[in-house]
Amino acid sequence: MKIIHLGAAVAVALALAACQKPQTANIDGERIAAADANAEWLSYGKGYSEQRFSPLDQVNAGNVGQLGLAWYADFDTDRGQEATPLVVDGVLYTTTTWSKVFAFDAKTGKQLWKFDPKVEGAKGFNACCDVVNRGVALWKGKVYVGTIDGRLIALDAKTGQQVWSVQTTDTSKPYTITGAPRVVKDKVLIGNGGAEYGVRGYITAYDAATGKQAWRFYTVPNPKGAPDGAASDKVMAETVNATWSDGAWKQTGGGGTAWDSMAYDPELDLVYFGIGNGNPWNHKVRSGGKGDNLFLSSILALKPDTGEYVWHYQTTPGESWDYTATQHIILADLNIGGQPRKVLMQAPKNGFFYVIDRANGRLISAKPYTNITWATGVDPKTGRPIENPAARYEKTVTLQVPGPLGAHNWQPMAFNPKTGLVYIPTNVTPFAYTDERAFNYKAGAWNLGVDFLVNALPTDAATMKAVASMIKGQLVAWDPVNQKPVWTVDHPYFWNAGVLSTGGNLVFQGAAHGEFSAYDAANGKKLWSYKTGNGVIAAPMTYELDGEQYVAVMVGVGGAGQLSAPASMPQRPRLPGRLLVFKLGGKATAPAYPAPAEQPPLDLANVSSTGDVQRGFAVFHQNCQVCHGANATGAWLPDLKRSPITASAESWKAVVIDGANATRGMPSFARYISPQDAEAVRAYVISEAKKPAATPEVQGARGSF
Ligand code: CA
C-alpha cells in the first residue's frame, strides 16, 4: 500500500510540475487575440493585429543602459536569419534558414528540441531572396512551419515530432515558402513565393488538427480561363479576369504571391493578406501594358471560414516594378478627424504609407514615407497613384526610386499606441528599369521582362558616386494620422532590421552594420546598443518570465538585400546564425565568431580562357548576377573571382553545365545557356578578377537594386 501511495504522490507531483510548465503551447484564438493588449507574444506579429508593441516596461528608457545578455544560442546554418521568436509557457520557439525549428527554455536557453525538415539543397535555387524563414505559428499544442520546398508541417509542441505534413505547392514549379503561417479559427493559413521565376500565387487554409485542405484562394486568374473549383472563382469571373490582357502571364502564371503579411480582425471576422508583384515584372510583357492586373500589389480581405472575397485595395495598378504589397500589415484603432476609425496600415515597397478603412477597404489617406520618384501622390478620390509618365520604361531606361528592393521590404514595422507612431525600417535603393525587348520565357529561371544588363553598364566614376550617395537606410517614426515623419535615424547602410516598440517608451532595431540598439520612442535618441558581430535583419520580440523582462533577437545578415547588392553592404563573411536574449543586469557573454577561412586569390598568371569576354558580360548579367552580384562583385555567395572552380574550364563546366554542385543550391544551367556561353562567363569573371579593385563608393553603386 505504501508503495502505491508513494507512486501516486510522485504522479501528483509530476502532474503539478507539468501544470506549472506544461510546454504544450496550448493556445487558441481567444488567447492570440488577447495578446494584442497583454504581454504575451503568440503569433508572428505578437497578436492578430500584428502591432509588434509590448506593454512590458520593466526595461525602459530610464534603465535600458543596464541591458545585458541573459543567454544566447548558436545555430548550424548561416545566411539570413529573419524569424521572430514566439514565447509561450516558458518556451521560446524560433526558426532558422533552411526552415529548421528550435525550442528553448526561455529562461535558461537550454535547447529542448529541434526539427530539421531536410529540405534538399537544390531547392535553394528556387528562393529569389535567400533560404530564409520568418517563424512558426502555435495552436492547441502544435507548432506550424512552412518550408522552402513548399511543405506546411505540424509538430508536437512538446517534443518537436512531426504530426502531419502537406505539400502546399506543385513541386515541378519554383514555389517556396518563407513566411510564418497564421492560425485563425482552427485553420492554418499559408501563402507562397516565386513571383520572380514564374508561378501563380494563392493562399490556402488547412485544418489545424489534420492538415486537410479547407479552402484555396488564387490571387491572379487561371491562365486557361477555366474555374479552379476554388474560393476565388466567383470574384475571378466577376471582376479579376477582365483586368488582364494577352501577354506572357499566360505562360509564367502571373505572380501575385502572398509570401509574408497577414492580419486578422476577430470582430469584423476578416483576414487580411498582402499580395506580391506580377510575373514577369514588366507590365508590357506580362499583359500587353493593359489592365490593372488584380490582385497584384493589393491588400485582400477574405472570410477565414470559407476564403470568400470581401474587399481589396490595389496599391499599384498595372504593377511593373516589383512593387509588392506583401509588406507588414498593422491593424489599429486611430482617432482621425475626431472620429475613431478601425484602420489597416501598410508601407509597401512603392513608398506610400497607406491608412485604409479595414471594414470596407476604402482609402483614408496615403503619403510618401521616403523619397520616391515613380509617382507624385495618391488620388484621394480614386485611391490610385498619380504616376510619373517616365516610370513606365517601355521606351527609355528609367532610373527610379524605389527599386525592386522597395522603400520598405519584409522587415516588420511596429505601432506604439502610446506615442501613436509607426516605426518603419526604410530603404532608398535606385534601380535602372529597362524593357527586355526580346523576352524569352525560361521555365524555372528568373523571368522579369526587365533587362538587368543596364544596371551593370560602366558609367563614369562621378555618376557612380552620385548613385552610391543616394543609397541609404533609415528608421522613420511616422505619424499615421497626420501622415508625416516625426523623427528619423540614419543608418550607415541600407537593408536594416525589423522593429519592436514597448511600453518602456523604447524602440528596438538591429542594423546591417551589426549593432542592435534601443531608441527613445518619442524622439529617436539612441539609448543603448550592443555589437552583435554580424548584420541584423530580423525583428526583435520581448517576453516576461518569473518577473523578469527579456528582449530576444535573431542575428544573421542575408535575404534579398545582401544577396542582390552585396557590394552595397558591409563586407563580411557568412557567419552562423545566433539568437541573443537580453535582460536587465544580464551577464552572459557570447563568444566571438570563429575567424572565417578567407578564400585566397587565384593565381591569375596561370588562369585563362578563350571565351568571349563581352558575350560573357551579357550572359552573366542575364543569368548569374542576382546571386553572384553585379560585375561579379558577390563575395557572399561564392566569390567567383576567387573560386577554385573558375581556375579551369573543366571544373567550371562540371558545375555550370553538368550540375556538380546542384545539392548545394547551384543547379546545372544547361537548360538556359550553352557550354560556349558558360565558358564566355568564365572569361568575363577572369577579366573582372584581373581588374584593380574599385573604390568603395563606386562598388556601392554597383548592384544597387
Ligand atoms: Ca518580388
Residues 552 and 663 placed together within one structural domain of the fold: no
Task: Give domain status of residue 211, yes or no.
Answer: yes
- Is residue 91 pLDDT above 50, yes or no? yes
Taking residues 121-142, report their average pLDDT.
Answer: 95
Q: Rounded distance, CA 100 to CA 118, Å?
A: 8
Quote the ligand 1 centre to 448 CA distance (angstroms): 10
pLDDT at 8: 45
Long-range CB pairs of 393-396, under 8 A, 24+ apart, other chains included = 393/282, 393/320, 393/433, 393/434, 393/435, 393/450, 394/284, 394/289, 394/435, 395/435
Q: Rounded distance, CA 188 to CA 205, Å?
A: 5
Residues 679 and 544 placed together within one structural domain of the fold: no
- Which CA distances in Å does 106 have to 125, 547, 552, 567? 34, 13, 10, 37
Count CB-CB contacts under 10 A for residue 661. Answer: 17
- Is residue 131 pLDDT above 70, yes or no? yes
Q: Which residue has the cell 526610386?
A: 401
Residues 235 and 381 placed together within one structural domain of the fold: yes
Close Cβ partners of 369 (under 8 Å, ≥ 6 residues apart): 347, 351, 352, 353, 407, 408, 424, 426, 476, 478, 485
- Is residue 464 pLDDT above 80, yes or no? no
Task: Give domain status of residue 450, yes or no.
Answer: no
Most distant CA pair in the chain: distance in Å? 93
Omega prior to 402 cis, within 30 of 0 = yes
> E strands of 325-384, at which residues?
329-336, 339-346, 352-357, 363-368, 375-378
Partnered with residue 378 across adjacent β-strands are 385
Q: How confident is the model at residue 23 (pLDDT cuts 50, 70, 90)?
A: low
| Residue ending a domain, choose from 540, 565, 584 | 584
- Is residue 13 pLDDT above 50, yes or no? no
Asked if residue 128 lies in contact with residue 168, where contact means CB atoms within 8 angstroms, the answer is: no
Ranges 53-62, 123-132, 330-339, 544-553: which has the least confidence: 123-132
List the CATH number of the domain containing 694: 1.10.760.10
Q: Rounded distance, CA 215 to CA 187, Å?
A: 10
The SS3 call for residue 700 is helix
Asked if residue 46 lies in contact with residue 54, where contact means CB atoms within 8 angstroms, the answer is: yes
Quote the ligand 1 centre to 129 CA distance (angstroms): 9
Q: Rounded distance, CA 257 to CA 244, Å?
A: 16
The secondary structure of residue 401, as a DSSP letter, is S
pLDDT at 627: 83
Quote the ligand 1 centre to 603 CA distance (angstroms): 39
Three cell numbers at 568?
A: 552595397
Q: Which amino acids are annotated catalytic?
A: 322
Q: Rounded distance, CA 221 to CA 236, Å?
A: 6
Quote the ligand 1 centre to 477 CA distance (angstroms): 26
The secondary structure of residue 248, as a DSSP letter, is T
Q: Where are the alpha helices (H) located in 513-623, listed in sequence order? A: 559-564, 613-623
Quote the ligand 1 centre to 72 CA distance (angstroms): 33
Residues 541 and 619 placed together within one structural domain of the fold: no
Task: Give domain status of residue 607, yes or no.
Answer: no
Task: Give domain status of residue 566, yes or no.
Answer: yes
Residues 329 and 403 placed together within one structural domain of the fold: yes
Over residues 521-552, the pLDDT tens digits come to 999 999 999 999 999 999 999 999 999 999 99
Asked if residue 378 lies in contact with residue 352, where contact means CB atoms within 8 angstroms, the answer is: yes
Quote the ligand 1 centre to 274 CA distance (angstroms): 12
Asked if residue 43 lies in contact with residue 32, where contact means CB atoms within 8 angstroms, the answer is: yes
Q: How confident is the model at residue 702 (pLDDT cuts 50, 70, 90)?
A: very low
Long-range CB pairs of 674-678, under 8 A, 24+ apart, other chains included = 676/611, 677/615, 677/616, 677/619, 678/652, 678/653
Burial of 656 (0-12, 13-18, 19+ CB in 10 A): buried
Taking residues 403-412, report their average pLDDT.
Answer: 97
| Share of residues in the chain with pLDDT > 90 (%) | 81
Q: Which residue has the cell 498619380?
A: 386
Ranges 7-16, 333-342, 360-369, 666-675: which has the least confidence: 7-16
Quote the ligand 1 centre to 250 CA distance (angstroms): 18
* Selection from 11-20, 184-193, 609-618, 659-668 with the highest mean pLDDT: 184-193
Q: Rounded distance, CA 92 to CA 112, Å?
A: 9
Residues 557 and 632 placed together within one structural domain of the fold: no
| Vertex 374: Cα angle to 368 and 380 (nearest 5) | 50
Task: Give domain status of residue 180, yes or no.
Answer: yes
Three cell numbers at 633?
A: 562583385
Residues 565 and 624 placed together within one structural domain of the fold: no
Task: Give domain status of residue 441, yes or no.
Answer: no
Q: Which residue has the cell 527554455?
A: 105
Give the DSSP letter string of 41-99: B-BTTBSTT---EE---SS-TTTGGGEEEEEEEE-S--S---PPPEEETTEEEEE-GGG
Residues 218 and 142 placed together within one structural domain of the fold: yes
Over residues 382-404, the pLDDT tens digits come to 999 999 999 999 888 888 999 99
Quote the ligand 1 centre to 122 CA distance (angstroms): 21
Helix then strand then coil, in percent of the chain rounded to 5, is: 20, 30, 50
- Find, among 79, 212, 228, the residue nearest to 152 by Cα: 212
The SS3 call for residue 29 is helix
List the CATH number of the domain containing 509: 2.140.10.10
Quote the ligand 1 centre to 199 CA distance (angstroms): 12
Residues 561 and 681 placed together within one structural domain of the fold: no
- Is residue 182 pLDDT above 50, yes or no? yes
Residues 540 and 687 placed together within one structural domain of the fold: no
Quote the ligand 1 centre to 409 CA distance (angstroms): 10
Mean pLDDT of the chain: 92
Q: How confident is the model at residue 694 (pLDDT cuts 50, 70, 90)?
A: low
- Find, among 505, 556, 508, the residue nearest to 95 by Cα: 556
C-alpha atoms less than 13 angstroms from C-alpha of 599 in its C-beta half-sphere: 19
Ranges 19-23, 101-105, 283-287, 331-335: which has the least confidence: 19-23
Asked if residue 705 lies in contact with residue 403, where contact means CB atoms within 8 angstroms, the answer is: yes
Q: Where are the alpha helices (H) located in 502-547, listed in sequence order? A: none
Over residues 219-253, the pLDDT tens digits come to 999 999 999 999 999 999 999 999 999 999 999 99
| Residue ending a domain, choose from 542, 564, 584 | 584
- Is residue 701 pLDDT above 80, yes or no? no
Q: Rounded distance, CA 445 to CA 261, Å?
A: 25
Number of domains in the chain: 2
The SS3 call for residue 109 is coil
Quote the ligand 1 centre to 128 CA distance (angstroms): 8
Count CB-CB contacts under 10 A for residue 15. Answer: 10
Partnered with residue 423 across adjacent β-strands are 414, 477
Q: Which residue has the cell 505559428?
A: 137
Quote the ligand 1 centre to 399 CA distance (angstroms): 18
Partnered with residue 86 across adjacent β-strands are 93
Taking residues 632-653, report their average pLDDT.
Answer: 87
Q: How would you list the strands of the sheet with 363-368, edge to edge? A: 329-336, 339-346, 352-357, 363-368
H-helix or E-strand containing 681?
Answer: helix 675-689
Of residues 517 and 9, more confidence is placed in 517
Residues 225 and 95 placed together within one structural domain of the fold: yes
Task: Give domain status of residue 26, yes or no.
Answer: yes
Burial of 325 (0-12, 13-18, 19+ CB in 10 A): buried
The secondary structure of residue 604, as a DSSP letter, is G
- Is residue 705 pLDDT above 60, yes or no? no
Domain span at 683: 613-699
Residues 219 and 360 placed together within one structural domain of the fold: yes
Asked if residue 200 lies in contact with residue 220, where contact means CB atoms within 8 angstroms, the answer is: yes
- Find, among 631, 617, 682, the residue nearest to 655 by Cα: 682
pLDDT at 41: 98
Task: Give domain status of residue 605, yes or no.
Answer: no
Quote the ligand 1 centre to 544 CA distance (angstroms): 37
Q: Rounded distance, CA 124 to CA 580, Å?
A: 26
